Amino acid sequence: MCDTCGCNVTPGNKHLLASGGTLETTAEGHEAVTVLHNLLHENDHMAQHNRDHFNGHGVVAINLMSSPGAGKTALLEATIQALGDEFSLAVIEGDLETENDAERIRKHGVRAIQISTGSACHLDAHMVHDALHGLDLDDYDIIFIENVGNLVCPASFDLGQHVNVALLSVPEGDDKPAKYPVMFRTADMVMISKADLLPILDDFKPERAETYLRNLANDAPVIHTSAKSGAGMEDWLEWLRTQVAARKQEHRQNPDAHAHVHHDHSHHEQGQSPGRPITSDS
């Protein structure tokens, strides 16, 4: 996680600086955040709150992370098409600017909430919490969270998700798990995306990428997919089915799990929370 660029301070959490954090200006004139433990502690607290809500509705929350352009939105589009009516899903989209990805999802008839992070290079739990105001979790089986394209910072912020999926696209090179260990260590599933390009970019060796991953002591499954050709999509869907079934079973066994959540508000489709103009939905 970067601790000098100020990326820890997001539109969702900057109010916390007023209660303990400070910003200082360096000799170069950059603002450096000097007290961040408060923010991270608050982030973890809010992430657990989000997770309690997901659990309370038996919904699985999946955090998609990758470098910019690795194919997260294309994967979601292909997933929506392949799943058909099997599951009901919604997408929370994180981007610095634009509603482009949310609009791509909405074209498929799926609800998408865009979070514009401004200068922040990652989503945090406060932003996701705000986005949850736009979703009635009773309506969904899966909530996908497409994180900001970035192989560094998103890995350090718990959002309340159940699982992390890290995409590694073939054009990026097979050494990324070695170079970005925090991201790949935190992955519950690694997807080698744009697999249709393997015959062309043949210096990408999937087995080498997997060796780097195993060197991080991560035994997560690795699947190869192409959103373009559809190759490998069935492996991905099968993994999704397993995640949904596990969450539903947990919910059946523990239906009152969310009774412990203290509500100062409800999470259903009520539009924006006041003073937080960071989300929008269809």
Ligand X SMILES: Nc1nc2c(ncn2[C@@H]2O[C@H](COP(=O)(O)OP(=O)(O)OP(=O)(O)O)[C@@H](O)[C@H]2O)c(=O)[nH]1
For Mg ion, the binding residues (CB under 5 A) are 72-73, 101
Torsion of CA 177, 178, 184, 189, to 10 degrees: 40
- Pick between residue 72 and residue 122 the one whose CB is nearest to Mg ion: 72
Q: How far is the CB of 193 from ligand X (least distance, A)?
A: 6
Please, what's the b/e burial string for 166-193 (b: 16 or more CB within 10 A of its CB; e: otherwise)? bbbbbebebebbeebbebbbbbbbbbbb
Burial of residue 65 (CB within 10 Å: 0-12, 13-18, 19+) is buried
Cβ atoms of 23 and 129 within 8 Å: the answer is no
- Pick between residue 70 and residue 220 the one whose CB is nearest to ligand X: 70
Q: How far is the CB of 101 from Mg ion (least distance, A)?
A: 4
List CB contacts of 256: < 8 A, sequence separation 6 or more.
none
Q: How far is the CB of 102 from Mg ion (least distance, A)?
A: 9
Which of Mg ion, ligand X, none is residue 51 near (CB under 5 to 8 Å by kind)?
A: none
- Pick between residue 50 and residue 150 the one whose CB is nearest to ligand X: 150
Which of Mg ion, ligand X, none is residue 44 near (CB under 5 to 8 Å by kind)?
A: none
Longest dimension (CA), the chain: 57
The token duo for 121 is 């290079």
Q: How far is the CB of 93 from Mg ion (least distance, A)?
A: 7
- Pick between residue 66 and residue 79 the one whose CB is nearest to ligand X: 66
- Interface ranges with ligand X (CB under 6 A): 66, 68-74, 101, 149, 193-194, 196-197, 226-228
Residue nearest to ligand X (CB): 149
